[in-house]
Structure 1
Amino acid sequence: MSVKVNITSKGIQKVLKNYNEKQAIAEYIWNGFDANADTIKIDYTANALGLLESLTIADNGYGINFDRLQQKFDPFFESEKSLQIVAPKDTSKMHGRNGVGRLTFFTFAHNATWQTTYQSEEGFRYGEIQISTGGLNSYSHDFTAQPTSTGNTGTTVLFTNLRISEQEMQELVLPFLINEFCWFIELNKHKNYSVLVNGEVLDVSTNIKSLEEFNLFYPDSNVTFKIKYVHWKENLHKELSKYYFLAGGEEIYKDYTTLNKKSDDYFHSIYIDSDFFRDFDFKSFENEGQVAIFGAAKSSPEYRFLIKELTTYLKEKRKPFLKEYANRLIETYEQDEIFPAYADEKETHKQKPALVNLIKALYEIEPKLFSSLNTDQKKVQVRLINLLLQSNQEEELFELFNGMIELEVEEQEELASLLIGKNLVIS
């Protein structure tokens, strides 16, 4: 049976045009985890030319309920607006939500076939669903076939007429998947979540720069918070740096850390497990005077203690990282000839060290001061800093930077101490 709906196939591709093969394959893995799978299997083979001949992505989730098939496929076919993919905000339990990701296969294959088994009141049911790139606005299905195995639910997606090579899988797709799922697999480590590629576990730990576990104890109410801190080598794509609040290993809520989006590539995750969060009201604003009817809220002393301690902890962890990147910034500026040309060696020796040390210190206080600048803007900025520095106009420098970006009170104090106090010696 074939079902066709309103939006055209080209319209679907237009809306999903920002997806590439890496993101598309990731969406199929997310679909599996959304279906309560704990294991996703990616299997592929290549021909003598290095092009993929076969690619399957299988999960052991609850499968696709055919009685609700129309509800699952038709709604996001009806209009372009319904095709927009919205990332989860407060929890990681559902990523795909509307299932639009299952249409993105057009980025790397011509055909996709879903072989799925789910358990109904009458027992296990099996069937197939097919969609082709030329007809993304329609799908065909067959529910008359018998299940290939009994006693197991799950879905296997077979992709054919592939437009991706084995080299692209190994060098582009798999590294992308590591960064995409490392935080999620770490979040669900107690559940043994895994992604297998041709029978081998995808080693997401390769993206871990450092990991620490410790407890925070609030004595007034005998509340203990179990903390796991992970510093990632590379970015987590859309997930960014977040706190994950758990109770008994189950995620309750997630939120951005206080050092998220600082423009310094300091990618991190904090997993916090405590029974304190079982009846916690995460929707209340921290400064609200209201007290939650059941359980605690962000205004509670325990929560304020937790966030204060973790903020201090993260800042300490970030310091050596910023020093390392400040040195890299100077190396890049040297290579790109950003620093001003001095009249002679004597002037270079006299003026440049103070300028270099000031730039390092400024970066450690606020990396945003040096982000998103092109070469000409970097040269203007550095020459202006040098000019004001040599003219002993430190107060003007402070006002300049304090006006450029929004600094926290502590950062303003650091900047004022650095510039006006002339504390330019960097260890």
Structure 2
Amino acid sequence: MHSLTVQVDGDHPARLVRSPRAGLTELIWNALDADADVVDGGLEFSTLGAVERVLVVDRGHGMSPDDVQQGFGALGGSWKRTTRTTRQQGRRLHGEQGKGRFAAFGIGDVVEWCTVHEDDPATETRIRAERHNLRRFEIITAPAEGDVGTRVFVVSVNEAAGKQLEQDSLIDTLSAEFAIYLESYRHVEISWRGQKLNPGALQVEREEYDLEVDGLDDRPQLVVIEWRRQVDRALYLCWCACAPATTARPCAFTSACDSARGRSPCPGGCPPAPLLLSRRNDFSGGEGGFERGIRRQKLIEADDAQ
């Protein structure tokens, strides 16, 4: 066994701990960034009925010893910083700063990663860390107990986190979070507690609008989705069929566009394609909000073009 001490540059690890739902979301994003086609998440309960352990299992390419050293040894040291797409399938990467692993500590006090890399399927690397010392990661190499991919276990789950992750509405929150990704990469499956995410089942109405943008030959598309249930509203500015490049509140559409213009384009050279997610009757508030929201959006586009 050996250990890695995180080399901190600017950010303190404790500030990177997030809410339980955000922590779960980051674990799933990490699995997708490893080219996992199947990601399964779930809960294990104690004899008293409390959440005892949270697990996320993926069938991605796993982490090599170099990946572990680079990804866990320093903040911002992730291999994702040097590329825009995943290693094998060329999907759009979500993370790039190497900070997502700390988000899991918003769920529980101890996190363990068990990973088997595709180049060495007989060997498993186990990385363990505790919340009271986020700078130290213990590394163990042992015979593989699982298939190629990564298994993440979060234990010492705090009571509040357990209650949040038990909520039935979480499956809808996750479906909305990964809607763009699952629509873009239809062979990918994400499941939570045995139920597969199905964003399409939550959509009441969907409208697509081709936009005209000066300087672009190809027309970006605005997709407005009205959800059957309440979800967090957000505006996603995407590069073609990729993961979101910029996220903002609907009222910040024009500023988000300005921000996105300064970003590097899709690796395939595609123009930006904004996607707007709204919740039922609350795009602009009240009954008929969906239609009024569309009219308001068109006024914003017109003002932005002038």
| TM-score with structure 1 setting the length | 0.50
| 2:104 aligned counterpart, secondary structure | helix
Structure 1: how far apart are the matches of 2:48 and 2:66? Answer: 43
State the structure with bigger RCO (CA 8 A, min sep 6), 1 or 2. 2
Structure 2: how far apart are the matches of 1:75 and 1:93? Answer: 23
The residue aligned with 2:34 is 35
| 2:144 aligned counterpart, secondary structure | coil
The 5 A counterparts of 1:235-314 are 240-242=235-237, 245-246=240-241, 251=242, 262-263=250-251, 281-282=269-270
Work out whether 1:194 is the aligned partner of 2:189: yes
The Cα of 1:232 is off from its aligned counterpart by 3.9
Q: Deviation string for 1:9-49 (max 9, x for gaps)?
A: x9311x225x2110011000000000000111112122355
The residue aligned with 2:98 is 99
The residue aligned with 2:16 is 16
Q: Deviation string for 1:112-142 (max 9, x for gaps)?
A: 111110122x664312111111111001111
The Cα of 1:204 is off from its aligned counterpart by 2.7
The residue aligned with 2:259 is none
Structure 1: how far apart are the matches of 2:282 and 2:54? Answer: 42
| 1:208–1:153 Cα change, 3 Å | same
Structure 2: how far apart are the matches of 1:7 and 1:323? Answer: 41
Identity %: 19
| 1:40–1:262 Cα change, 3 Å | closer
Q: Structure 1: which amino acid aligns with 2:111?
A: A
Q: Structure 2: which amino acid aligns with 1:66?
A: P
| 1:324–1:25 Cα change, 3 Å | closer
Structure 2: how far apart are the matches of 1:30 and 1:323? Answer: 27
The Cα of 1:193 is off from its aligned counterpart by 1.1
| 1:281–1:173 Cα change, 3 Å | closer
Structure 2: how far apart are the matches of 1:171 and 1:279? Answer: 38
The 5 A counterparts of 1:95-244 are 95-120=94-119, 124-143=122-141, 145-149=142-146, 152-163=147-158, 164-166=161-163, 168-171=165-168, 173-189=170-186, 192-211=187-206, 231-233=225-227, 240-242=235-237
| 1:188–1:228 Cα change, 3 Å | farther
| 1:119 aligned counterpart, secondary structure | coil
The Cα of 1:74 is off from its aligned counterpart by 1.5
Unaligned runs of 5+ residues in structure 1 are 216-223, 266-277, 283-297, 330-359, 369-404, 413-427
Structure 1: how far apart are the matches of 2:102 and 2:164? Answer: 24
| 1:328–1:50 Cα change, 3 Å | farther
| TM-score with structure 2 setting the length | 0.68
| 2:143 aligned counterpart, secondary structure | coil
The residue aligned with 1:408 is 302
The residue aligned with 2:4 is 3
| 8 Å Cα contact 1:117-1:154 kept in structure 2 | yes
Q: Structure 1: which amino acid aligns with 2:302?
A: E
Structure 1: how far apart are the matches of 2:295 and 2:3? Answer: 61
Structure 1: how far apart are the matches of 2:287 and 2:153? Answer: 48
| 2:13 aligned counterpart, secondary structure | helix
The residue aligned with 1:423 is none
Unaligned runs of 5+ residues in structure 2 are 85-89, 211-217, 254-265
RMSD of aligned alpha carbons: 4.8
Structure 1: how far apart are the matches of 2:101 and 2:171? Answer: 19
Structure 1: how far apart are the matches of 2:304 and 2:74? Answer: 50
The 5 A counterparts of 1:254-403 are 262-263=250-251, 281-282=269-270, 325=285, 327=287, 365-366=295-296
| 8 Å Cα contact 1:51-1:165 kept in structure 2 | yes
Higher strand proportion, which one?
2
The Cα of 1:105 is off from its aligned counterpart by 2.1
| 1:32–1:255 Cα change, 3 Å | closer
Bigger radius of gyration among the two: 1
Structure 2: how far apart are the matches of 1:407 and 1:214? Answer: 12
The residue aligned with 2:74 is 75
| 1:172–1:132 Cα change, 3 Å | farther
The residue aligned with 2:256 is none
Structure 1: how far apart are the matches of 2:246 and 2:137? Answer: 39
Q: Deviation string for 1:365-388 (max 9, x for gaps)?
A: 5479xxxxxxxxxxxxxxxxxxxx
Structure 2: how far apart are the matches of 1:126 and 1:262? Answer: 45
